[in-house]
Amino acid sequence: MKLTLQQLDAHLWGAANILRGKTAGQDYKNYILSLMFYKRLCDEWECEADEAIAELERQQGRAFSEQEKAIFRRRGEHRFQIPDGARWGDVKAASTSLGEVLTKARCAPWPTATRSCSASSRWTGTSPLPTAPASR
């Protein structure tokens, strides 16, 4: 059975309402905007790392192993730093307590210029994000 655009719209809206729970839409934007900003930072960090690794591979005329790439990523030669354990991949790998994982990532020991752990960026307690296991 083919899904219509109207059915998809209704399904996505329903999913958003489940995630939002009893949080007012005006308050919910604080969670979503900070989550989007965090995801964008992580994406940019990964992109910079990939570009730098590709350039080094080109300069050395060989492909790096996954272990060498991981070592390069840990060295932290980027415009900005995201602490180990606080990257989007770490959050994505979690299957339970997503709110706690997100809060830990956002409140990790970030360099001063990017550090921000305010009440509006916590995803636990009264957060709209569940702490129950994620379903796939």
Task: State pTM to two decimals.
Answer: 0.61
Do the domain assignments include residue 95? yes
Q: Is residue 106 domain-resident?
A: yes
Structure-token pair, residue 25: 């839409």
For the chain, the domain total comes to 1
Q: Say if 44 falls within a structural domain.
A: yes
Phi-psi region of 70 (alpha: psi -120 to 50; beta: other; left: phi over 0): alpha
Residue 110 lies in a domain: yes
Residue 10 lies in a domain: no
Residue 65 lies in a domain: yes
How far is residue 48 from each of residues 20, 41, 77, 82, 118, measured CA to CA in Å? 33, 11, 9, 12, 27
Give me the pLDDT at residue 110, please: 67
Domain of residue 31 covers 22-121
27 within domain boundaries: yes
Measured CA angle at 73 (ends 68, 56), to 5 deg = 60
Q: Is 9 a member of any domain?
A: no
pLDDT by position in tens, the chain (length 136): 788 999 999 998 888 888 777 777 777 777 788 888 889 999 999 999 999 999 999 999 999 999 999 888 888 677 888 887 888 888 888 878 878 888 888 777 766 544 445 444 444 444 444 444 444 3
DSSP 48-60: HHHHHHHHHHHHH
